[in-house]
A and B are shown apart, each in its own frame.
Chain A
Amino acid sequence: MSSVLIDLTYLVASVLFIFGIRGLTHPRTAVRGNMLGATGMLLAIMATLLDQQIFGAGAEAFGWILGGVVLGATIGATLALRIELTAMPEMVALLNAFGGGASALVAGAVLVGDANPSTQTAVATVASGIIGSITFWGSLVAFDKLRGLILPDRPVVFPGQQILNGLLALTALGLGVMVVSDPGTIQFYVGVVVVASLLGVLLTIPIGGADMPVAIALLNSYSGLAAASTGFVLSNNILIITGSLVGASGIILTIVMCKAMNRSLVNVLVGAIAEGGGKVADADEIYAGRVKITSAEEVAMLFDGVRRVVIVPGYGLAVSQAQHQVRDLANLLESDGIEVEYAIHPVAGRMPGHMNVLMAEANVDYDKLKEMDAINPSFEQTDVSIVIGANDIVNPAARNDPSSPIAGMPILNVDQSRTVVVIKRSLSPGFAGIPNPLFAADNTLMFFGDGKQAVLDLIAAIKDA
C-alpha cells in the first residue's frame, strides 16, 4: 500500500476518534462513540502493518509485532474485565502510566535507530522522554496511593521539596539540550528519562487522596501530550492529532476539578491544604453537646409521609462498596411514592465522575444523578438528605465562614433541607482536616457506622416499620 493510502487511512481514523469522543457527550450515544474510537484504532493499526518499513522487514518483524499485540491484549483484556468498578481510579492511573511509558520508549527507540536525527526529531524526543517518564512514574505513584500499597494516601511533603523539583526539572532540560546537540550519545537520553522519572515520583507524592481527581486528570493530559510529542518525533499526523485531543481533554477535566475545589492548580500540586492561611476551627468547640446521634429505627420513622429525599454519595460509599444497598434503599423509598434523587459533587470520590460510575453500576437511572448546580436549588424543598461517606463537599463552612481553609469551595447545600442524616464512621474530619458544622446543626442527625451496614440496617428498619 502506498504511503498516500496509509496517510488517508490515518485521516479516517483521526476523524473516527473525533466522532468517538463526540459520542461521549450523551449516555445514549456513548457506547457507539467508544466503538467508533476502537474502529479507528483498528484501522490505524492495519494501515501501519502495510507500511514499507514493516512490510519490507519480512516475516520475523510480523511475528514480533503479533506476539507483542497478543501479549498486551491478553493483559489489557484481563485487567479490563476483572477490575472492580470501585477500582476505576486505579485502573485509569495504570492506563495513563502505560500510555506515557510507551511514548517515552518509542521516542527512545527512534533516537537509537536514527543515525542522523533532525533537530525536530531530537527536540521532540526529549519532550516525549520528559513528559512520558513523568506520566509513567507519576501515574504509578497515584496508583500506589489509591491502592494504599507503599505510600500513604495523605500528602508526603518535606522541606526543600519545591527547590529539589525545580533543580530536577532544570537538570532534565539541561540533559535535553545535550541530547539535541549530540543525539548520537544515547546516555544523555537515558539521563533525561532517569531524572524525569524521579521528578514524576516527587511531583505526585505531595498530592493527597481527595486531590487525586486533579492529579489523575492532569496525568491523563500528560499521557496525551507525550503521544503528541512522539508524533513530532515520527512526523506522524495521527499521533499528533490524537495526542492533542487527549491532552486537551485532560486539561479541561483538570480545570473543572480545580474549580470544584476552589483551588488553583499550583495549590493542589504543592499538596498544601489548610496551610494557606485561615484558622482551623476547633472541633470540640463546634461539636460539644450539639451532635445528635440517631439510630436506624429513628431514621426509618423520618420517612413517614415525606415527598422528596436526596442521597449524597461520597468516597466513603465507594470504600464500603455500598452502592447496591443504597440503590435498594432508594427503590424501597420510591415504592412508597417518595421522589429520590442523587446529588453528585464534581470532586466526590477519587477521580472525575467516580460517583456516577458507581451508581450506574448499581443500576441507578442516570437521569437521577444530578450535578451540583442542578440540584442545589432544590434542597430547600427536600425533606430528608442522606449523606453517605462525604464530608468536605457538604461543609457549610465553605459557604458561611470566610476564614475557613475551604472558604469559597462550591458545596452541596444539604444543610438547607429539612432534615439531614449523615452516615459516617465517626466525627473525624475529612481530607481538608477541618470540622464540619453540618454535623452539629439543629436539623442534622448523625448515624454512625460503616456505610454498607448502616444502609442495610436502615432498610431492615423501614421494612419493619
Chain B
Amino acid sequence: MEAFIPLLTIFMLAIFVGFEIITKVPPLLHTPLMSGSNAISGITIIGAMLSVASSNQVTMVLGFLALVIATINVVGGFLVTHRMLDMFKKKDS
C-alpha cells in the first residue's frame, strides 16, 4: 500500500495537468491532438519490451505481440500526426 499512494498521487496530478493543457487546444487541431496523444499513449511499448525480456515463455510471447502493436501505435501515430500538422501552415501566397 505504501508504494501505491505515490503512484496514485502522480496519477491524479497528471490528470490535472492534462486537463489544464488540453482545454487550451483549439478545435482546429482536435484531430492531430487525438492522433498525437494516441501515439504518446503507446508508451506501453516500455512494458512490452520488459515482458519480451522475461524468462517466462508465455510472458515473452504476449510481450512480443504487445511490442508489435504498441510500435504500430507509436510510429503510426507520430507520423500521421506529423503529416497532418504539416498541412496546417500559414499560407502567405
Contacts and interface: CB of A to CB of B under 8 A. Distances in A.
Contacts of B1: 120
A95 B77 contact: yes
A252 B64 contact: no
B63 A34 contact: no
A105 B29 contact: no
A367 to B, nearest CB: 8
8 contacts: A41-B78, A76-B73, A77-B75, A79-B80, A99-B38, A237-B7, A247-B18, A360-B87
Contact of B46 (A98, A238, A354): A238
A286 B14 CA distance: 52
Interface in A222-261: 223-224, 226-228, 230-250, 252-253, 256
Nearest to A55: B53
Contacts of A346: 27
B17 to A, nearest CB: 6
Nearest to A123: B4
A105 B91 contact: no
Contact of B38 (A35, A38, A238, A246): A246
Nearest to A56: B53
Chain A contact surface mostly = helix
B70 A242 contact: no
Interface residues of B, number: 81
Chain B contact surface mostly = helix
A92 B38 CA distance: 8
A175 interface: no
A405 interface: no
Contacts of B11: 228, 231-232, 240, 244
Interface residues of A, number: 111
Given A25-B26, A120-B3, 17 more contacts: A30-B29, A45-B46, A57-B54, A64-B52, A64-B60, A76-B76, A80-B77, A103-B47, A237-B7, A242-B40, A246-B38, A246-B41, A248-B14, A248-B15, A252-B22, A351-B34, A356-B30
B91 A352 contact: no
Nearest to B92: A365
B41 A77 contact: no
A163 interface: no
Top 3 nearest A-B pairs (CB, nearest first) are A72-B71, A248-B18, A353-B30
Given A45-B45, A234-B47, A236-B47, A353 B31 contact: yes
Nearest to A110: B51
Interface in A346-396: 346, 351-354, 356-357, 360-361, 363-367, 369, 371
Contacts of B32: 24, 30, 34, 353, 357
A457 B77 CA distance: 38
Given A41-B78, A106-B44, A245-B40, A24 B62 contact: no
A356 B15 contact: no
Contacts of B63: 105-106, 109
Given A27-B28, A53-B53, A81 B79 contact: yes
B72 to A, nearest CB: 4
Contacts of A253: 30, 33-34
A108 B36 CA distance: 26
Nearest to A113: B59
Interface in A44-63: 44-45, 48-49, 51, 53-54, 57, 61
